[in-house]
Amino acid sequence: MTYPVHLSLGPLTLPVHLLLEVLAYSVGFRVYQALRRRTHDPISEENRLWIFVGCAAGALLGSRVLGLLEHPELLANPPGGWLYYFTNKTIVGGLLGGLVGVELTKKQLGVTTSSGDLMVYPVILGMCIGRLGCHLSGLEDGTFGTASSLPWAINFGDGVLRHPTNLYEILWLLLLAALLWLAERRGPLPNGWRFRFFMVGYLLFRLLVEFLKPTPAPAGWGLTAIQWACVAGLGYYVWLFIRKRQPAPQEAYA
């Protein structure tokens, strides 16, 4: 296979990454609708719509901000001009920004039940499709790995064999989905814990896999902006876990 992969339709060359990204959103939403029809959703249709709006706004802002912080040296002189500020994005920022947007929206609506459990499998499927688009884009996408001599290393078009980090991510997401499914076959997880396990699993993976990417860490930081965001997200879920295990005030004096 030669990278980047292009699809031709007569005189037109179709952008594979964009096509698969659109497909990821479409398929993910269809799967979500199917799951919601089969599952009792304690959140009303109207509140669910507002939660989607909050999620989309937070994800859009978070993905762009973290994407820009990944290369702070380019902020003053962005490649390609001002469009750089709107096109650079990252999944980690989208997930964490979406989480903040959802929690703020739920607080305004007075919704206390989890809204993320229903989204886990559709999000995993959509991310797998989207990452396939990143992989087929080769070096154009900027998410390739560092040089490697492993048997499965791939030449993305520059003559250098590299870690196929996008394929690593797809495999990890599929494994994460399988582990969640197997865990829930043994019994239902507490409300909200499917989403928490997904986020912890994905953030932990991204924290580690970023060491296999050529993105340099800013001087003195030791980690890239994405890795620091993963650390912050993991810290948040550790805090939630500790808070969950602490007895309620009335239990402490029982």
Tell me: pLDDT of 250 over 90: no
Please check whether residues 194 and 235 belong to one and the same domain.
yes
Does 254 map to a domain? no
Query: Is the predicted pLDDT of residue 245 greater than 80, yes or no?
Result: no
Same domain, 92 and 61: yes
Kindly report each contact of residues 180-183 with a partner whose C-beta sits within 8 Å and lies 24 or more positions away, as own/partner.
180/120, 180/121
Determine the structural domain holding residue 73 and report its residue range. Answer: 43-112
Instruction: Find out whether 115 and 17 touch, Cβ atoms under 8 Å.
Output: no
| Claim to verify: residue 232 and residue 154 sit in the same structural domain | yes
In a domain, 104, yes or no: yes
Are 148 and 234 within one domain? yes
Query: What's the CA gap between 234 and 211, in Å, rounded?
Result: 17
H or E segment and range at residue 237:
helix 225-245
Q: Which of 91, 112, 133 is the last residue of a domain?
A: 112
Residue 103 tokens, joined: 């929690």
Does 151 sit behind a cis peptide bond, omega within 30 degrees of 0 on the bond before it? no
Query: Is 253 domain-assigned?
Result: no
Residue 168, pLDDT > 70, answer yes
| Interatomic CA distance for residues 14 and 8, integer angstroms | 6
Instruction: Please report the pLDDT score of residue 143 as a whole number.
Output: 87
Looking at the predicted structure, is the pLDDT value of residue 4 above 50? yes
Residue 72 is assigned to a structural domain of this protein: yes
The CA distance from 188 to 186, in Å, is 7
Are residues 129 and 205 part of one domain? yes
Rounded to an integer, what distance in angstroms lies between the CA atom of residue 140 and that of residue 151? 23
Tokens 């196929």 appear where?
164
Q: Does residue 129 lie in a domain region?
A: yes
For residue 9, give the DSSP letter. E
Considering the domain architecture, whether residues 30 and 84 belong to the same structural domain is answered as no
57 closest CA partner among 94, 3, 26: 94
35 and 158 belong to one structural domain: yes
pTM: 0.90
On whether residue 161 sits in a domain, the answer given is yes
- Could you tell me if 27 and 97 lie in one domain? no
Q: How would you class 72 by CB atoms within 10 Å of its CB: exposed for 0-12, middle for 13-18, buried for 19 or more?
A: exposed
112, 132, 158: which is the final residue of a domain?
Answer: 112
Per-residue pLDDT reduced to its tens digit, 119-157: 999 999 999 999 999 999 999 888 899 999 999 999 998
Measured distance CA(180)–CA(199) in Å, rounded: 12
| Bridge-based pairing state of the strands 154-155 and 7-9 | unpaired
Domain count along the chain: 2
Per-residue pLDDT of 200-239, as tens digits, reads 999 999 999 999 998 887 756 789 999 999 999 999 999 9
11-23 pLDDT, tens digit each: 888 888 889 999 9
Domain final residue, candidates 95, 112, 129:
112
Q: What number of CA atoms fall less than 13 Å from residue 48's CA on the CB side?
A: 14
Same domain, 26 and 90: no
Q: Is residue 247 part of a domain?
A: no
Nearest to 180 by CA among 168, 204, 169, 196: 196
Structure token digits, residue 78:
């962005």
- Do 85 and 153 lie in a common domain? no
For the record, the structure tokens of 91 come out as: 């999944």
| Residues across the chain | 254
Q: Which two tokens stand for residue 57?
A: 């706004």
Question: What confidence tens digit (pLDDT) does each residue in 170-201 have?
Answer: 999 999 999 999 999 998 899 899 999 999 99
Is 245 part of a structural domain of the chain?
no
pLDDT of residue 207: 96
Query: Which pLDDT score, from 0 to 100, does residue 166 have?
Result: 95
CA distance 244 to 207: 24
Domain identity same for 92 and 123: no
Residue for token pair 């490697």: 148
Asked if residue 35 and residue 137 are part of one domain, the reply reads yes
